[in-house]
Amino acid sequence: MKVGIIGAGPRGILMTSQLFNQYKYHSEQTEPLSITLFDPIGIGGRVWRTDQSDELIMNSAADQITLFTDSSVTMSSKVYDGPSLFEWARSDEANSYLASHGYSSDIVAAAAQLQINGYAPRVLFGAYIKWFYDDLISQQPTEISTSLMKAQVTSLTYNDDHKPVIKTDDGTYTFDKVVMSLGQQDNYLNDEEQRLATYAQENALNYISPTHPGDADLSAVPAGELAIIRGLGLSFIDYVSELTLGRGGHYMRNEDGSLFYQPSGREPRIVAGSGRGIPYYPKPINEKGYGECEVPKFLTKENIEKYSKDGKLPFDKFMDLLLSDLELVFYKLTINDKYPYKSANEFEKEFLSNPDKNAVLKQFGFQEEDFFEWDYIINPFKDVQAVGTEDYQTVLINWLNGEIVDSAKGSKTGPLAAARDLLRDFRPTFRQMIVDDCFTNQEYVEKFLGSLDSVINFLIMGPPVVRSEQLSALIRSGVVTILAPGMQVKGQDGWFVTASPKRNTDKFRSASLIEARVPKANLDITANPVMESLVNAQLARTHRLPINGENVGVHAVDVDPKTDQLLDINGDVQPDVYIWGSSLDGLRYVTNAAPRPGVNDTNLQTADKLAAEVLGLPVADDVEMD
């Protein structure tokens, strides 16, 4: 059997690994297996390529990243166990591998010094992926052959025998099965982005459209001049790191432990903002051990069934159950912090049993300033209307420093940090609810995807605490200025001009505008050649849901939900083409997370299931597809 895998990032390599495992441990496999990986960057793929800046770090703790399966994973092949990224990085084997494969002394040192809850350079995860692949190939059975085509796939079609055909600029390749393991993809610019790009070209300005920060050329952003960054999420943190640390700046500690920034003189002055006007919350320091994952006490299967009407859980009730879980953890840890003469265990019993939550709070003597206020958590400055940019820096720093302190306490200790971290632990619950079709289509699209998903990202997909500390230092030093909520950008008088007109009259102009966001996979506007070819050949379509008489797209590529086989324009299954990962975001939940050990990770489950399907072998039951 000949199998083509498009994408050699983590998912493509997981797919290769599980094809090996399924093939090796089923004696009925007699036909030789040929695997060809396609990726223009090579092993590791685009996001984790090893020639990017060392200043770009991961957003998951090193001990919570793996490419190996473990006993927690629902799978039909045998466990292929091995070290997490942290365990590997600290090993003599990693030291030898990095040194012998030409990695910089800084990366070798970063690996040796990596802490269990530390955040590795992305280059190091790329090295881990390459080591994993090399180790996998060294154990390759004689009946399997594996090759890498370092090329961009330009189209996926079928030949006259209805066999999948992959085309690149270098050749045409026919397979029995194809698995699309795509990660970061580009989209065509939307109308506003295209207007700004055209304006930049006409006025000799520098416009960096949405892309992965590791791919952006920042050399045209001049030192000392003002640069505008739109977006305050993870890409913003990456761009700021490259324009400060990447240009020779460094941080030092004050006597009180706070950071201050020592500029190199080569950084620009950064003005940044977004609609929300607030950087993402810091990611809590991880305190959870191997496989440790909290489960809901309110958002349980029993309660979901209890409060559902005609099989659908009203979104308001879903939020009530979810927030009750967050409040329980928040108040228990607040008791530990501020009310030492109260019992957190007794509070939990009362909170779980008494439907009058306010009565429980009054019973335990909580002061108003210690209340869990969801509206203010998701919009800390909702009452801040008119505020000058300079005053806003003080407001923002005070908030950010408070969240840094809470997040530094850890994911099981900081009251709000621990409550926020539940949103990560509850991903299996959210996934199952989506699979079970628990929401009406309208509430799923408009409220879950359209609103809550962004809020969850804001709360738990932020940078490591150290990056938030650095941002605080940069704001205090004047290198970075954050606009008040409601940022707007336009071209005017030969410049890019930005302001937050609903909050103040301050305006800033620059010759450089950076769009700090990574494009989301979207089949309707994709600029990925292979996805475009499938759309043009009517072999792929967007997943759509009926809402009020209209079919509304959720951007995900449409697949058979049981097998991840591609559906064509008519909804017919393409039995020999599979797709998984970020292209299914919207049909599935959080498809871009790195595999995590010990928690029955969906990446690992899906790779094993797809490998079994490709080889025509029995699959495991109750697999949570990624």
- The predicted-structure confidence for 212-243, as pLDDT tens digits, reads as follows 999 999 999 999 999 999 999 999 999 999 99
* Residues 531 and 188: beta-carbon distance below 8 Å: no
Q: What percent of the chain has pLDDT over 70?
A: 100
> How far is it, in rounded angstroms, from Cα 626 to Cα 619?
15
Task: Give yes or no for residue 602 having a pLDDT over 90.
Answer: yes
pLDDT, average across residues 479-499? 98
* Residues 525 and 185: beta-carbon distance below 8 Å: no
Q: Residue 225 is encoded by which pair of tokens?
A: 């001049």
Tell me the fold of 2-186+521-615: FAD/NAD(P)-binding domain (3.50.50)
pLDDT of amino acid 29: 72
Task: Give yes or no for residue 494 having a pLDDT over 70.
Answer: yes
Q: What is the pLDDT of residues 532-586, one digit of tens each?
A: 999 999 999 999 999 999 999 998 999 999 999 999 999 999 999 999 999 999 9
Q: What is the pLDDT of residues 74-107, one digit of tens each?
A: 999 999 999 999 999 999 999 999 999 999 999 9
Q: How many CB atoms lie within 10 A of CB 434?
A: 17
> How far is it, in rounded angstroms, from Cα 510 to Cα 253?
32
**Residues 6 or more apart whose Cβ sits within 8 Å of residue 109:** none
* Residues 188 and 529: beta-carbon distance below 8 Å: no
**Residues 6 or more apart whose Cβ sits within 8 Å of residue 154:** 167, 168, 169, 529, 530, 533
First to last CA, the chain: 25
pLDDT, average across residues 117-123? 95
Categorize the per-residue pLDDT at 26 as very low, low, confident or very high, splitting at 50, 70 and 90: confident
CA dihedral 271, 273, 278, 282 (to 10 degrees): -70
> How far is it, in rounded angstroms, from Cα 119 to Cα 465?
10
Q: Which amino acid is at 414?
A: G
Categorize the per-residue pLDDT at 183 as very low, low, confident or very high, splitting at 50, 70 and 90: confident
- Report the mean per-residue pLDDT for the chain: 95
**Residues 6 or more apart whose Cβ sits within 8 Å of residue 239:** 213, 216, 218, 229, 514, 516
Tell me the backbone φ, ψ of residue 32, rounded to 5 degrees. Answer: -60, 150
Tell me the fold of 191-280+464-481+494-515: FAD/NAD(P)-binding domain (3.50.50)
pLDDT, average across residues 335-350? 95
pLDDT of amino acid 28: 77
pLDDT of amino acid 593: 87
DSSP 447: I
Tell me the backbone φ, ψ of residue 259, rounded to 5 degrees. Answer: -85, 150
pLDDT, average across residues 174-179? 98
When mean pLDDT is compared across 49-58, 84-93, 489-498, the lowest value belongs to 49-58
pLDDT of amino acid 592: 87
* Residues 292 and 248: beta-carbon distance below 8 Å: no
Closest among 412, 378, 415, 419 to 296, alpha carbons compared: 419
Between helix 389-409 and helix 465-477 the angle, nearest 10°, is 160
Q: Residue 361 is encoded by which pair of tokens?
A: 């709070």
pLDDT of amino acid 399: 97
What is the DSSP code string of 273-302? E-SS-SPPPPBPPP---TT-----SSS-HH
The CA distances from residue 43 to 173, 306, 378, in Å, are 19, 48, 39
pLDDT of amino acid 419: 98
Q: Residue 14 is encoded by which pair of tokens?
A: 């997981």
Where along the chain do the CATH 3.50.50.60 domains lie? Answer: 2-186+521-615
**Residues 6 or more apart whose Cβ sits within 8 Å of residue 215:** 46
Task: Give yes or no for residue 27 having a pLDDT over 80.
Answer: no
> How far is it, in rounded angstroms, from Cα 492 to Cα 548?
41
> How many whole angstroms from its chain centre is CA 565?
24
